[in-house]
Amino acid sequence: MINIELIQAVKNQFEVDWNGLHGVGHWARVYDNGLHLAQSTGASTNVVRLFAVFHDSRRFTDGRDMEHGPRGAQLARLYRGKYFELPDDEFDLLYTACSLHTRATTHADSTVQTCFDADRLDLARAGKTPDPKLLCTGAARDPKTIQWATQRSLTGFVPDNILGRLSKTGSL
């Protein structure tokens, strides 16, 4: 699903610091957060993994950039079929999650909710504690989950997943 060609294509067009606030280390934590939550929510792990890559992929700044989500969704549309495959129903969820992650507080679909929460659980890196009232899923609102994710975010922990390995070594 995620391969070096996809990541290289995303990296080549990425306009902010690859190792910065919204860069690949953050994506690696969102990836892990999402997979952790999906065990309870039943979310599509394909969508969760790709959301981690695309949700911040079209940021123009690490500051306020409310249109980065829709731009990330468009990049996913552009790269679909070239760098990754995803059935229409799952792609629709990926597109929705990326487009709305900065605009919507929740969504009816548990996969989209899981994507939102995976990102929000990494807010401590930006000096914000995740607010359980702003999380969509029971799994994310669990105090142990918030504590686990917040600690990782605060320390800049980079998980040993496909994105984390890229962050640490520069290659997969």
* CATH number of the 4-169 domain: 1.10.3210.10
138-154: pLDDT as tens digits = 999 999 999 999 999 99
Q: What does each C-alpha distance from 158 to 24, 66, 86 come to in angstroms?
A: 9, 26, 26
d(CA 112, CA 26): 18
pLDDT digits (tens, 9 = 90+) for 62-97: 999 899 999 999 999 999 999 999 999 999 999 999
Alpha carbon distance 54, 74 (integer Å) = 9
Q: Count Cβ atoms within 10 A of the Cβ of residue 168 and give its class: 0-12 exposed, 13-18 middle, 19 or more buried.
A: middle
The structural domains of the chain, with segments of one domain joined by +, span 4-169
**pTM listed for this prediction:** 0.96
